[in-house]
Amino acid sequence: MTTSLADMRRDYTREGLDESQAPAEPLALFRQWFADAVETEQLPVEPNAATLATVDAEGRPHCRVLLLKALDERGFTFFTNYQSAKGDQLSANPFAALTFFWPTLERQVRIEGSVEKVTPAESNAYFQVRPLGSRLGAWASPQSREINDRHVLEQLLEETRQRFEDTQPTCPPHWGGYRLVPDLIEFWQGRPSRLHDRLQYRAIRDAWTRRRLAP
């Protein structure tokens, strides 16, 4: 029997999100929620997985799931090929949004802001701690470009292995990090009857304001 999408629903039963639980600035709350997700979520859910949304030069939106690799007071950092589709989109329109969803905790976090490249030193430092296969893949894959079949990719990888047979691969000039500098962060906690809690932080003149939104 086929299940109707309209019939697929779950009730949310965990504790709510009250202003008394929320600090004055959002990064502290994000770190707390992220630590909870690391402790609670089980594979195949990756707590640092997020949906990144970008907009191209024609105004068309695009989204994909990627992994957050660094977080500090400057923002949220992820790494990719600068010549990929997302790289082209961020070059044309340097703004983006991230959404984290932690189903076990019935929580999501929405983040919006401007995007900037991290320094080459930061990109290189992260590149060097990646597994060797990932480093070779960064050199081998013409990300987002059309290829005829899987064999093409495997051949490119083998050629890259031979190229770096006697040396460690360095960070490619076309690969590195982006930092999303947030100006809006919204915390969503599932509640019964779809009356969810939403606390939104917005950066105004270097200070964060907080407000509650109706679900």
Q: Per residue in 54-76, pLDDT tens? A: 999 999 999 999 999 999 999 99
Q: Among this protein's residues, is 191 annotated catalytic?
A: no
Q: Are 197 and 21 in contact (CB under 8 A)?
A: no
Please indicate if the annotation marks 163 as binding a ligand. Answer: no
State how far the alpha carbon of 181 is from the alpha carbons of 73, 75, 101, 118, in Å. 9, 5, 20, 11
Instruction: Round the average pLDDT of the chain to a whole number and report it.
Output: 93
80: annotated binding-site residue?
Answer: yes
- Active site residue: 74, 194, 211, 212, which one? 194
Question: CA 16 to CA 192: how far, in whole Å?
Answer: 10
Neighbours of 35 (CB within 10 A): 11
* Total length of the chain: 215
User: Domains in the chain, ordered, with CATH?
Assistant: 12-129+173-212 (2.30.110.10)
> What six digits make up the tokens of 145?
């470009």
- What is the reported pLDDT for 145? 85
Tell me: is residue 64 an annotated ligand-binding position: yes
Residues of the chain with pLDDT under 50: none
d(CA 201, CA 15): 20
| 10 marked among binding-site residues | yes
71 labeled binding residue: no
Contact 64, 80 (CB under 8 A): no
pLDDT for 7 equals 60
Give the C-alpha separation, 135 to 144, whole Å: 17
pTM of the model: 0.90
Beta strands in 25-104 (DSSP E): 49-55, 61-67, 70-72, 75-81, 95-102
